[in-house]
Amino acid sequence: MRIGNHLSLQQLAERAGVSGAAIHKIEHGQMTPSITVLMKIADALGKRVTYFLGEERRDDFYFVRGVEMAPRDERRRIEYSGGSVELERLAFRLERGQIHSGIYRCKSGVKSGSRPHSHPGEELVFQLEGMVEYTIRGEVFVLRPGDCLHFRSELPHTWRLLGDQDSAALVVLTPPPYDAAELSEARRDIY
């Protein structure tokens, strides 16, 4: 971060009001800074302290290694339809982000509703487990594990699970059909 901002060790030390030796030790993992020191360094770099704590919301990119993600049973999840559909949110930290992504886990027999629905944008479905049938403007597509469907989501569409097996699919929507506040209310509409 310091080098990316074209700052010498001494320049950052002066801006932050922290000794150059302390910054050197922090950069080389020889010292764990206090929150106060971290706040000074973050301020000197024009960042919030959350940048260093892995909680920074960015507007340009966000990367999470699989080993850094919380174990599956600890990830943020939202249930719909009385628990028959569960949304496991994936990375969603970009400010003003234009996509929604998640793994939708559905119990056998679930369907999107009796009437076709539509929403602005595009939808991509990558089937992970089970089988699901999508009907888009009257055309039927059966997705099995490994199948992928990409379509303009303003086209009227429905989906339903086939067979007696539960289903899991990675679903990506753009633009997001709802914001975080709406999502936490566990809407009945399922995409």
pLDDT tens profile 133-165: 999 999 999 999 999 999 999 999 999 999 999
Q: Are residues 35 and 81 in the same domain?
A: no
Q: Are residues 110 and 37 in the same domain?
A: no
Q: Are residues 98 and 129 in the same domain?
A: yes
pLDDT for 93-146, tens place per residue?
566 677 888 899 999 988 988 899 898 899 999 999 999 999 999 999 999 999
pTM of the model: 0.60
Domain count within the chain? 2
Q: Are residues 158 and 80 in the same domain?
A: yes
Q: Which of 36-45, 49-58, 89-98, 165-174 has the lowest mean pLDDT?
A: 49-58
The answer to whether residue 137 sits within a structural domain is yes
The answer to whether residue 190 sits within a structural domain is no
CA 16 to chain centre: 33
**Closest by Cα among 149, 157, 147, 165 to 109:** 165
Q: Are residues 38 and 75 in the same domain?
A: no
Per-residue confidence (pLDDT) for residue 7, from 0 to 100: 84
State the residue range of the domain holding 37: 9-51
